């Protein structure tokens, strides 16, 4: 019995797969006008949403229980603004993900982004 249990424990990690998450890369729409903007990188998995904080120079994590989630959108509230991700689908066109940065303190949109989600394992 001990040998069977040991065999299961050895083989189990090699047959178990983690859930895929999304790596989301967003580019400011103003780049079409010739303005220079760095792409933004976000990570979304089943337990967390991660964004890169330039001030701290590392990814910050928000639990998915703190996100507002709907059928084709989710919102993440950060200390100074809110990030709203939405997928839109028009007839004859593939679905697109867009992101809006919204300043909820001053009640205005700051920027809009075109996003490319890619399935992948999240670090």
pLDDT digits (tens, 9 = 90+) for 60-106: 999 989 999 988 899 999 888 999 999 988 888 788 899 999 999 99
Integer CA distances (angstroms), 72 to 6, 12, 42, 52, in order = 45, 35, 17, 23
pLDDT for the residue 119: 86
User: For 49, how many CA atoms within 13 A lie in the half-sphere containing its CB?
Assistant: 18
Where do the domains of the chain lie? Answer: 18-120
The CATH code for residues 18-120 is 2.40.128
Model pTM? 0.75
Around Cβ 99, how many Cβ atoms within 10 Å?
Answer: 21
Read off the tokens for 62: 């928000």
């Amino acid at each position: 019995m001990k040998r069977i249990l040991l065999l299961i424990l050895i083989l189990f990690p090699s047959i178990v797969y983690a859930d895929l998450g999304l790596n989301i890369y967003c580019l400011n729409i103003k780049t079409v006008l010739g303005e220079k903007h760095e792409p933004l990188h976000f990570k979304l998995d089943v337990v967390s949403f991660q964004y890169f904080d330039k001030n701290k120079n590392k990814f910050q994590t928000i639990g998915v229980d703190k996100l507002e989630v709907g059928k084709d959108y989710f919102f993440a509230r950060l200390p100074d603004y809110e990030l709203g991700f939405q997928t839109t689908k028009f007839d004859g066109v593939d679905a697109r993900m867009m992101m809006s940065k919204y300043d909820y303190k001053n009640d205005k949109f700051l920027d809009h982004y075109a996003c490319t989600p890619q399935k992948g394992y999240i670090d």
